[in-house]
Amino acid sequence: MSAVAQTRDVYYAVADPTRRELIRLLADAEELPLNRLTIHFPIGRAAVSKHLGILKEAGLVTERKVGRETRNRLNPAPLKELQDWLSYYEKFWKHNMLRLDQLLKEDPE
């Protein structure tokens, strides 16, 4: 898979902790400009902007110009793909947790 195709992939976009934190920050606010996002990270404005670009390419962030300022907003729709993928494995974990619970009840030690 090429680097460009990867940056448009939701899984790739959320794989980085900085981008996950950006998603969280945008989920907690209606819109935020780059300078308000940058203060939450020990990295520079250019690095935060690059992370936002990856989130935009994956469709997770949209932007809107207000005067000279660009405001960023979370678009949660692509996260549905992640939720669907994880829900498949939820069955696996529920089944295994039930089995573990049963084993623990059978063996008092």
91 plus 65 within the same structural domain:
no
* Structure-block tokens of residue 38: 């940058």
The sign of the torsion formed by the CA atoms of 42, 44, 49, 51 equals: negative
Q: Binning pLDDT at 50, 70 and 90, where does residue 6 land?
A: very low
Q: Binning pLDDT at 50, 70 and 90, where does residue 93 land?
A: confident
30 plus 63 within the same structural domain:
yes
Cα(43)–Cα(46) distance, integer angstroms: 8
Per-residue model confidence as pLDDT tens digits over 46-66? 999 999 999 999 999 999 999
Name which of 68, 63, 66 is nearest 26 in CA terms.
63
pLDDT of residue 62: 97
Strand partners, 41: none
82 plus 70 within the same structural domain:
no
How many domains does the chain fold into?
A: 2
88 plus 101 within the same structural domain:
yes
83 plus 72 within the same structural domain:
no
Q: Which domain, by its residues, includes 48?
A: 3-76
43 plus 64 within the same structural domain:
yes
37 plus 86 within the same structural domain:
no
Range with lowest mean pLDDT among 18-27, 58-67, 74-83, 97-106: 97-106
pLDDT(68) > 70: yes
Q: Binning pLDDT at 50, 70 and 90, where does residue 7 land?
A: very low
Q: Binning pLDDT at 50, 70 and 90, where does residue 89 land?
A: confident
